[in-house]
Amino acid sequence: MQRFIHSMVGAGAVALAFLSSGAQAQSKEPIPIGVIANLTGMDVKTSTDMVRGIQIAADAVNKDGGVDGQPIKLIIEDAQYKTQEALNAATKLYDVDKVPAVIMFGGSSIELAVAPIAKQKGKIIVNTSSSSAKLGDFPGTVYSVLPLDDIVGKALGEWTAAQGVKSAAFVVPNNTFGTGLMDAAATAFEAKGGKIVAKIAYSEGQPDYRADIQQLVSSKPDAIMTTGYGDDSRTIFKDARTLGLKQVWYAGYPSILTVENEAWMNGHLMGVDNGGLSGDVAKKVGADYAAKFGKEEPLPHVFYGYDALMLIARAAAAPGGFSATTMAKSIDGYQGATGAIKWDVRGQRIDPPIDVISYKDGKFVTTGQQ
Amino acid sequence: MLDFLVFAVTMIAIWSVVALSLDLQFGLCGLVNFGQILPFALGAYGPAISAAHGGSISAGLALGLAMAAVGGVLVLAPVGRLSQDYWALVSLGASEIFRLLMVNVTPIAGGQDGTAVARVSNPLAALGLALGLLLAMLLLARRIDRSPLGRLMRVLREDDLLVATLGRNPFRVQALVTVVAWLMAALAGALYAHVVGFVAPSSFSVAETFIVWTALILGGAGSLLGAVVGTAFVQFISVSTRFLAAWSGLPFDLVANLRLGIFGVVLVLVFLLRREGLVPERKVRVDAVGP
Amino acid sequence: MLSVRDVTVAFAGVRALDAVSLEARPGRILGLIGPNGSGKSTLLNVVAGAIAPDSGSVSIEAVPIPAGRPEEVAARGVARTFQIPRLARRLTVIQNMMVGRRDQPGENLLTLLFRPGASRRSERALVVDARAMLARLGLIHLADHAAGGLSGGQQKLLSMGMALMSDPPVLLLDEPAAGVNPVLVEQQIVFLKSLAAEGRTVLLIEHNMEMIADVCDDVVVLDAGTVIARGSPVDIRRNAQVMRSYLGETA
């Protein structure tokens, strides 16, 4: 028995030495930053890319020594696209993990429920994906990296009308990303006198979309406005080609579409995109993404997530530490993956740069600015 | 930490009332309702519709309760004397129809994106309201449970022809239970709306109905306390898996799905190992001097 | 008086009952006998309101019963038992007995919530009556047992007691002696006679000829949906046709 106790004490001492030496090597407490995204349920793909963008940013910050030596620690929670779960996640992050800020993916039903709680506790939310105008009702609490009212969508509608298109149909995925862009583009297009022939929001993950777009054969719009990504966009193009649809495609975020037939698409696809996404920072983030996650094309959400975390890190590094004041100033001089960021007094993004992009000879090229 | 626990307990209390309302229908009366989220949703959408159109809080509450009472009878009526299987399916369909209506008809209450509702800003006040509601509903349920009405419902649970033979209209008893249960769930829904401060269709899917069922079965159908215990248990597993997920250090997308998987596995295991539920149904003692 | 007039019931082209008529009087026990499949249970179901006849009618005191509505017929004062006893097996014996009484104030939700005293008073009286009935049936020692745990014969006694709790002027009994041990059958016979003495109308389906002979004042014989004989038990026993169609064994 005596020998047992001695050996336990000895083991304990060794363990203690190990732990304390480990503690010494780490000189500072990590800064916890919360992330709430829909990792299950709806909008999973876009949420996941946003989180990946945040991780790329956090890794970059930590590689550079963190914020004054303090590493950033991400705590990622699943909202399951349900209001109550988002609240569970938010209260856990703010009260238990004691994060000063949470980066949130939407929809607005989730972010608008969490916003009052963040406000009550004097905490911050950085919005990366919801473009609801109501988010502007929480100045000092909610900061949006995504432009409100989907400025890319609005730009698409205006630009398409400016190209002389008189009638158009929409083909977008039926999620908040697709329908949000469609609604903004439709409003802008109609304001410029355009006529909308059809609004097709297709269910994601189907093997065939001919039934959905069949109506375009008879309704014959001048052009088709779209956005989308991945296999679904590929299927849409293939089905359109098979049906003999000859219209030009005007897209929001054209570079994330998957072209099915290069020859057929050549010169038939153009659109507008967030200008910053072709900048140097975005290219580097894209490269990091490819290195970490393979060949998938990053969705715009990657860049919004990246910028969100970078801004938080900048605010934390500013004199006085992280606060609403330093957060508001964090955009000063920051060139992000989504370009230069400008906020109005409510912390909502305005005047983002817009690029015009065309698909030529198998490549997406930037042909101008809006 | 305190706010987190206060919110968790508030939610447990609210969902316990929903489980209790299902217990009245199923545990006591044998009615299988696969759409119990519907009266809860109606109770929440009353305030939402009122808020979206400039109405008052009390108008919202009245609307929610009215929709639930009418809804319960409307859903039950076409089934009438048909068998239980039909009612299970009809109630399931009704809950989905309502949810899809709210998703697609945006002018009613904001569609997919939902509507904000006046929020109880003091978390302790919210907790107090929730616990108060739970207590009141427990007392009501207990009153019914131990009464001749409760006894009749238990007979109905086993044999509806026997009930008719004994001179009572089984359909009327079913309708009464349904209306009471739906009003109960609607009250919980209205409180939920004002505690969360936001009402959106994604909170009222079929998955929610089955989580309430799970809570009821685990806690012990037929036992009133079981509804509360089961709900607390299910919420506890859901919340604690969040902490486990964070500690595991696994990649975030994997761990989110694993978390839901573990949630399901734990529930199945508990059910397999203790079929009668955590709180088994006890022998009923009726009001008067027991024999 | 219970009167059945020209009742016809057809299931998928087969006539389960073909223009059957009979009368049962208060204070008398009418036995209904016949081979299996002769329509006895169908007739009982029609009288109880569980089946609506295709033609003909059933009347109590000259007022026709609402066909196809068993709860309304029961409210008119008709109580019945089933060949395989219908009980709430998970409730106790005394709880089953108490459900037998109709018009309990405690079954009305509003009374329950706002006039609890009325409910409690009624329950107290009901417990006393239920115990008395259990004692009368020799089941009082099983009062707190789950009804599902009783023997077949005891369950039959219990269901007869339940039927009586509503003080019904008319009683329909479906093979009370089937599968019951002879001692309990004797008990049932005494019980049935007391029912008639109380002035009730009793209609009894049975195969047990001893019981029929001992208890019935009148007997009706059914075969393939039609009445082939009527009379006192003695008459029936002597009826050659009846012997041929049904009674294989010595009477």
For A208: left if phi > 0, alpha if psi spans -120 to 50, otherwise beta; the answer is: beta
Chain A interface disruption, residue of B15, B198, B243, B250, most A CBs within 10 A? B198
Could you tell me how many CB contacts below 8 A there are between chain B and chain C?
103
Contact C225, C38 (CB under 8 A): yes
What share of chain A has pLDDT > 70, as a percent?
91
In a domain, B183, yes or no: yes
Strands A72-78 and A31-37: parallel
Q: What is the CA radius of gyration of chain C?
A: 19
pLDDT of residue B58: 92
Residues of B in contact with C87 (CB under 8 A): 159, 162
User: Does B have 3 or more CB contacts under 8 Å with A?
Assistant: yes
Residues of B in contact with A97 (CB under 8 A): 246
pLDDT of residue B245: 80
Residue of B nearest to A134 (CA): B116
Q: Is B42 helix (H, G, I), strand (E, B) or coil?
A: helix
Domains of chain C, CATH where assigned: 1-77+168-251 (3.40.50.300), 87-167 (no CATH)
Residues of C in contact with B288 (CB under 8 A): 120, 123-124, 126-127
In a domain, A78, yes or no: yes
Both tokens of A51, joined, read: 């989180």
291 residues of chain B, pLDDT tens digit each: 788 899 999 999 999 999 999 999 988 888 888 999 999 999 999 999 999 998 999 999 999 999 999 998 888 877 765 666 788 888 899 999 999 999 888 888 888 888 999 999 899 999 999 999 999 999 999 999 999 999 999 999 999 899 999 999 998 999 899 999 999 999 999 999 999 999 999 899 988 998 899 899 888 887 889 999 999 999 998 888 888 887 877 888 888 888 888 888 888 888 788 777 777 776 554 443 333
pLDDT of residue C114: 92
Q: What residue ranges in chain B does DSSP mark as E strands?
A: 115-116, 198-199
In a domain, A97, yes or no: yes
pLDDT tens per residue across span C2-35: 999 999 999 888 888 999 999 999 999 999 998 8
**pTM above threshold 0.90:** no
User: Does A have 3 or more CB contacts under 8 Å with C?
Assistant: no
In a domain, A254, yes or no: yes
pLDDT of residue C248: 52
pLDDT band, very low/low/confident/very high, at A13 (cuts 50, 70, 90): low
State which residues form the domain around A77: 31-144+278-353
Both tokens of A59, joined, read: 């890794």
Q: Which chains touch C (3 or more CB pairs under 8 A)?
A: B
Q: Do residues A35 and A126 both lie within one domain?
A: yes
CA angle A204, A210, A211 (to 5 degrees): 85
Contacts of B210 (CB under 8 A, 6+ apart): none
What's the mean pLDDT when you consider all of chain A?
Answer: 86
The answer to whether the bond into A193 is cis (omega within 30° of 0) is no
C115-121 long-range contacts, Cβ below 8 Å, gap at least 24? Answer: C119/B147, C119/B148, C119/B287, C120/B287, C120/B288
Our CA dihedral for A226, A227, A230, A236, rounded to 10 degrees, sits at -10
Tell if the CB–CB gap between C109 and B180 is shorter than 8 Å.
yes
Nearest by CB to B1, which of A40, A42, A95? A95
In a domain, B51, yes or no: yes
In a domain, A366, yes or no: no
Tokens 């399931």 appear where?
A: B92
Closest approach of chain C CAs to the CA of B130, in angstroms? 22
What share of chain B has pLDDT > 70, as a percent?
95
Alpha-carbon span A358 to A368, nearest angstrom = 9
State which residues form the domain around B109: 2-203
pLDDT band, very low/low/confident/very high, at A211 (cuts 50, 70, 90): very high
Tell if the CB–CB gap between B116 and A75 is shorter than 8 Å.
no
Residues of C in contact with B171 (CB under 8 A): none
Nearest by CB to C99, which of B152, B176, B289? B152
Contact A238, A171 (CB under 8 A): no
Q: Is A34 helix (H, G, I), strand (E, B) or coil?
A: strand
Alpha-carbon span C27 to C22, nearest angstrom = 16
pLDDT tens per residue across span B233-267: 999 988 888 888 878 778 888 888 888 888 888 88
Contacts of C187 (CB under 8 A, 6+ apart): C137, C138, C157
In a domain, B229, yes or no: no
DSSP conformation letters of B147-170: SHHHHHHHHHHH-HHHHHHTT--H
pLDDT tens per residue across span C166-218: 999 999 999 999 888 888 888 889 889 999 999 999 999 998 888 998 999 99
Alpha-carbon span A138 to A302, nearest angstrom = 24
Nearest by CB to C74, which of B148, B159, B167? B167
| ipTM of model | 0.88
Q: Which DSSP state fits A35? A: E
In a domain, B286, yes or no: no
Alpha-carbon span C204 to C31, nearest angstrom = 5
Averaged pLDDT for residues A24-49: 83
pLDDT of residue A87: 94
Chain B interface disruption, residue of C76, C91, C139, most B CBs within 10 A? C91
Q: Which chains touch B (3 or more CB pairs under 8 A)?
A: A, C
Chain A interface disruption, residue of B10, B206, B211, B253, most A CBs within 10 A? B253
Contacts of A54 (CB under 8 A, 6+ apart): A35, A74, A103, A305, A306, A308, A309
Contact B91, B36 (CB under 8 A): yes
Q: Which residues of B touch A (CB under 8 A)?
A: 1-4, 7-8, 11, 112-114, 116, 119, 121, 196-200, 202-203, 238-239, 242-243, 245-246, 252-253, 256-257, 259-260
In a domain, A173, yes or no: yes
Averaged pLDDT for residues C236-246: 72
Q: Which DSSP state fits A70? A: B
DSSP conformation letters of chain C: -EEEEEEEEEETTEEEEEEEEEEE-TT-EEEEE-STTSSHHHHHHHHHTSS--SEEEEEETTEEP-TT-HHHHHHTTEEE--SS----TTSBHHHHHHHTS---GGGSHHHHHH-HHHHHHHHHHHHHHHHHHHHHTT-GGGTTSBGGGS-HHHHHHHHHHHHHTT--SEEEEE-TTTT--HHHHHHHHHHHHHHHHTT-EEEEE-S-HHHHHHH-SEEEEEETTEEEEEE-HHHHHH-HHHHHHT--S--
In a domain, B65, yes or no: yes
pLDDT of residue A17: 47
Q: Do residues A72 and A111 both lie within one domain?
A: yes
Buried b (16+ CB within 10 A) or exposed e, B33-69: bbbbbbbbbbbbbbbbbbbbeeeebebbbebbbebbb
Inter-CA distances, A210 with A84, A95, A235, Å: 38, 50, 9
Residues of C in contact with B176 (CB under 8 A): 109
pLDDT tens per residue across span B186-216: 999 999 999 999 999 989 998 899 889 989 9
Tell if the CB–CB gap between B1 and A134 is shorter than 8 Å.
no
Q: How many CB atoms lie within 10 A of CB B263?
A: 17
Q: Do residues A118 and A162 both lie within one domain?
A: no
Contact B50, B63 (CB under 8 A): yes
Residues of B in contact with C65 (CB under 8 A): none
pLDDT band, very low/low/confident/very high, at A362 (cuts 50, 70, 90): confident
Q: List the beta bridge partners of residue C29.
A: C202
For residue C243, is pLDDT > 80?
Answer: no
User: Does B have 3 or more CB contacts under 8 Å with C?
Assistant: yes
What's the mean pLDDT when you consider all of chain B?
Answer: 88
Q: Which DSSP state fits B287? A: S
Q: Phi and psi (nearest 5°) for A211?
A: -60, -35
Tell if the CB–CB gap between B158 and C89 is shorter than 8 Å.
yes
DSSP conformation letters of A282-298: HHHHHHHHHHHHTTPPP
In a domain, B211, yes or no: no
Averaged pLDDT for residues C133-160: 92
Q: How many domains does chain B have?
A: 1
Tokens 């049932």 appear where?
A: C188
CATH number of the domain within which A260 lies? 3.40.50.2300
In a domain, A20, yes or no: no
Does C207 reach chain B within 8 Å, measured CB to CB?
no
Closest approach of chain A CAs to the CA of B140, in angstroms? 27
pLDDT tens per residue across span B52-72: 998 999 999 999 999 999 998
Residues of B in contact with C94 (CB under 8 A): 291
pLDDT tens per residue across span A112-149: 999 999 999 999 999 998 777 788 889 889 998 877 65
Residue of C nearest to B170 (CA): C71
Tell if the CB–CB gap between B239 and A88 is shorter than 8 Å.
yes
Strands A354-360 and A269-274: antiparallel
Q: How many domains does chain A have?
A: 2
Q: Which chains touch A (3 or more CB pairs under 8 A)?
A: B
Q: Which DSSP state fits A67? A: B
Chain C interface disruption, residue of B147, B156, B184, most C CBs within 10 A? B147
Tokens 């309704």 appear where?
A: A219
Nearest by CB to B202, which of A82, A87, A120? A82
Contact A303, A53 (CB under 8 A): yes
Q: Do residues A296 and A255 both lie within one domain?
A: no
Q: List the beta bridge partners of residue A70.
A: A67
Q: Do residues A44 and A122 both lie within one domain?
A: yes
Residue of C nearest to B287 (CA): C120
Strands C78-80 and C63-64: unpaired
Closest approach of chain B CAs to the CA of C148, in angstroms? 12
Tell if the CB–CB gap between C71 and B147 is shorter than 8 Å.
no
* Total residue count of chain B as it appears in this document: 291
pLDDT of residue A334: 84
Closest approach of chain A CAs to the CA of B243, in angstroms? 9
Alpha-carbon span A201 to A213, nearest angstrom = 10
pLDDT of residue A18: 45
pLDDT of residue A340: 76
pLDDT of residue A148: 64
